[in-house]
Amino acid sequence: MVQTKTEKQNSPDTIHVMPLEFYGVNPEEKQTKIETRIVEKIVTKPGKPFPKKRNKAMTVVVVFSLLIIICLLSYLVYLNYADTTSNSTIIEVPVVENPKPIVDIPIVEQPDEPVVPIIPIVPVMIKLADIHDADADADGLTDAEELLINTDMNKPDTDADSYLDGDELLNLYTPLEVGEKLEFSDLVATFVNPNYDYDVFYPKAWFARAVERDNREVVFTSPTGEFVNILVVQNESLQDLKQWYLSQDSEADIAQLVDFDNKQGVKGIISPDGFRYYFSKANQVYVVSYNIGLKQKASYPNLFALIAQSFIFTE
Ligand SMILES: [Ca+2]
Ligand SMILES: [Ca+2]
Per-residue pLDDT of the chain (315 residues; tens, 9 = 90+): 444 444 545 555 555 555 555 555 555 655 555 555 554 554 444 444 444 556 777 888 888 888 888 878 888 878 776 665 555 445 555 555 665 656 666 676 766 777 777 777 777 889 999 999 999 999 999 999 999 999 999 999 999 999 999 999 999 999 999 999 999 999 999 999 999 999 999 999 999 999 988 999 999 999 889 999 999 999 999 999 999 999 999 889 999 999 999 999 999 999 999 999 999 999 999 999 999 988 999 999 999 999 999 999 998
Q: What's the CATH superfamily of 130-313?
A: Mog1/PsbP, alpha/beta/alpha sandwich (3.40.1000.10)
For residue 74, report the distance from its CA to the centre of ligand 2, in Å: 137
Of all ligands present, the nearest one to the C-alpha of 160 is 2
84 by DSSP, 3-state: which? helix
pLDDT tens-place string over residues 206-234: 999 999 889 999 999 998 899 999 999 99
- Beta carbons within 10 angstroms of residue 189's beta carbon: 16
For residue 49, report the distance from its CA to the centre of ligand 2, in Å: 168
Of all ligands present, the nearest one to the C-alpha of 145 is 1
Indicate the domain borders of the chain: 5-44, 130-313
Of all ligands present, the nearest one to the C-alpha of 171 is 2
Percent of the chain, pLDDT > 70? 74
For residue 205, report the distance from its CA to the centre of ligand 2, in Å: 21
* Residue spans of beta strands (DSSP E) within the chain: 188-193, 198-203, 207-210, 217-221, 227-234, 258-261, 267-270, 276-281, 284-291, 312-313
pLDDT tens-place string over residues 68-81: 888 788 888 787 76
User: What pLDDT is stored for residue 115 in this prediction?
Assistant: 75
User: What pLDDT is stored for residue 50 in this prediction?
Assistant: 47
Of all ligands present, the nearest one to the C-alpha of 166 is 1
For residue 139, report the distance from its CA to the centre of ligand 2, in Å: 10
User: What pLDDT is stored for residue 315 in this prediction?
Assistant: 85
User: What pLDDT is stored for residue 169 in this prediction?
Assistant: 98
Please report, to the nearest 10 degrees, the dihedral formed by the alpha carbons of residues 291, 292, 296, 300 taken in order: -120
